Structure 1
Amino acid sequence: MGNDEDRSVSLDGNLPVFILGPCVIEGEEFIWELAKNLKNISLEIGVPFIFKASYDKANRTSSDSFRGPGIKEGCRMLDEISKELKVPVTTDVHTVEEIEIASEKIDLIQIPAFLCRQTDLIYAAGRSGRAVNVKKGQFLAPWDIIPIANKLRSVGCDKFLFTERGTTFGYNNLVADMRSLFWMKKEGCRVVFDATHSVQKPGGLGDKSSGDGYLAPVLARAAVATGCDGVFIETHPNPDQAKSDGPNQIPLSDLPSVLKTLLAIHKIASAGSDKKNRV
């Protein structure tokens, strides 16, 4: 998936794909420095990755919370990073109009979990000509992705994947059910596991969300062992100072060891298995 050969990433199962980046674009210097660090890490370890960052956190708990630079500036930065570093980029969109703008610059269109049932948004993403990543809503059962997949297929989109990001578990909490990865894969869909949002505690701090970031690598290991096609990880040089979702992000300094462990698990899980029958 991508605009050209240099910006493409395969989901052929030989290696898990990693979607990596911060929660939100905190500034131009910040985003460039982080993107360069992630590119170097990917080259060192030998893993494909898609760079992720949001231009607008449109569903922040508080009206006082930082949202980002906006779509035009955000997509400009992501496009320049993609061209310079030769990596595909992804970001989340919130309206049909935003898809029209983002699809000119972005390789993988991400549909937020809260919006995954919005039919017009799904249709617009499917018609954009870009690959589509639908975050499965915290309120959906795994098999509830079937109608969403059918919506995408109905407009001629066959380049799409679903991301598992946890399921609502009581109040201000989520639980990650690894069976979900199996059931979604059984429907013939590519599945990515969102390790960092799965440990989020929505509204856990009253006017903002909290989370258990230290558990993100644990759940990522379980997901790779289960056989997901990729892992979504938000990372930050200093999560305590992040402008959004700091409590559930993985420190950038920890990321290389996390990725190396996930690759080792993937190698073991893949050994001697039939890809058609693997989850």
Structure 2
Amino acid sequence: MWKRIKARWNTHDPSAVAAFFSEDADLVMGNLPAAHGRQEIRDSWQAYFARQEPERRLTLEVSPVRFLAADAAIINVATTTGGRDRQGQELPARKFRGTWLWYRQSNDWLISAMRGFPTEEDRVELTPLLKTAEYLKPQIRALIRAYEDAFGTHDPAAISEFYTDDADIVVRNSPVIHGRPAILEWWRAYFSELRPQSLDRIRWFESMRTILIIDEVRMIAPDVALVNITATAAARQADSEPSPVRYARATWVLVREDGEWLIAALRVLPSEEDRIIRAESR
């Protein structure tokens, strides 16, 4: 399978690459707009290949496959593109990471969702926006509401309870964090780093509120669901000025275990307004 994907990618044929995706798949790569459905995904790859040198070639490093159900699986990949141009000059290497969610349909494995995110060496510049949640139209499900409430307490232990034992997470350019104990420690470090020292800033930090808005819920299998989320975060301001809101895009893969929905994989991607500064360009 991986050899076929690599071979098709190296033809720079968007239709050949899009054929690996299911009809209802979606694609989000870095800070680029999301593509929904095979036709939009084909168009996205067409625009991508138009920006690449014809000689650019792909290599893949694929993590072990993690089965979420008999007909659903998830993998993490590391990609490098490079090669030599027509003059024999070496092309600059470009590295990326991704998560691919697969579903088997009539004995064919197809990609239901693909997410690409920066490497750990890249830097992401977040862009605050003067948007508020009133302009969004949330349909918050019970699990999302409960997670949102737990996140608002800044309690890593409470947050980690929402994950499966073998879950993994990637938050923008963070490393891949595997397993609930490691996820607990990562959130503990995350909130510790955010927490300010001065009293005024502590009050500001404690007033910070994250709102999770469900953009889409898609059933991949009877006990596997994909949820696309818009996340906003802001704190109360003492004056009347509007508070800048940080905006992110997230994808959750949920599995149902013993009747309870848990997070098997969480990916937070930069927003379209954020900047990704490639490690090789610095």
TM over 0.5: no
Structure label with greater radius of gyration = 2
Bigger proportion of residues as strand: 2
TM-score (norm 2): 0.25
Bigger proportion of residues as helix: 1
TM-score (norm 1): 0.25
